[in-house]
Amino acid sequence: MPEVVDGNMMGGNPDGFERLWTPHRMAYIRDANSRAKFESEEECPLCKAPDDDDRAHLVVHRGRSCYVVLNLYPYNPGHLMVCPYRHIGWYTEASDEERDEIGALTQDAMRVLQIVSGTKGFNIGMNQGVTGGAGISEHLHQHVVPRWVGDSNFLPIIAKTKALPELLDDTWERVTTAWGEL
């Protein structure tokens, strides 16, 4: 006899996990291989030239081999990405200098976000390759996402809308200013 879980008939044994069904995400899965590849640095939105306007491109800090940029489509306010300048797609392609600077800039990003937003938690990670969930798989980037208790809600699922309480330009100003004070 199937088990009744939260009023629904379910097969198998309970595992203690709740399920959040997000069928709208199938659009990302189905379309992942249809996006044209960014074959060159000129096409890639994550390739930043030294003479680019940092504010216009949301770059908050530049290091020797890597830089830090606000995510144009943030999961949460202050969602940063640490990227090498070189157009490489895999962590295994990073030089020792790039690998080390990605780590150091990630630590600095956490410190800055704690200063500007009081965040007490983070999601940090890399999605490698299209299959691994990378939206831009051709250019390596590490996400630094600030988290707060209760920061997730059903608005993105029900209304296909994200509630972001601050404009990207305002976030850029606060993060850039705090970074300069480290």
Q: What is the pLDDT of residues 121-138, one digit of tens each?
A: 999 999 998 888 888 899
Neighbours of 144 (CB within 10 A): 23
Where is average pLDDT lowest: 25-34, 45-54, 108-117, 134-143? 25-34
For residues 28 and 137, the model is more confident at: 137
In percent, the amount of the chain with pLDDT more than 70 equals 74
Catalytic, 87? Answer no
φ, ψ at 168 (rounded to 5°): -55, -40
Q: What is the pLDDT of residues 73-99, one digit of tens each?
A: 888 889 999 999 999 999 999 999 999
Distance linking the first and last C-alpha atoms of the chain: 61
- Active-site residue (options: 61, 79, 141, 143): 141
33 pLDDT band, cuts 50/70/90, is low
Within its chain, how far is the Cα of 169 from the centroid? 17
Read off the tokens for 173.
Answer: 């100003």
Architecture of domain 39-180: 2-Layer Sandwich (3.30)
The domain ranges of the chain are 39-180
State the Cα torsion 123-115-48-77 to the nearest 10°.
60
Which residue is it, tokens 């999605």? 127
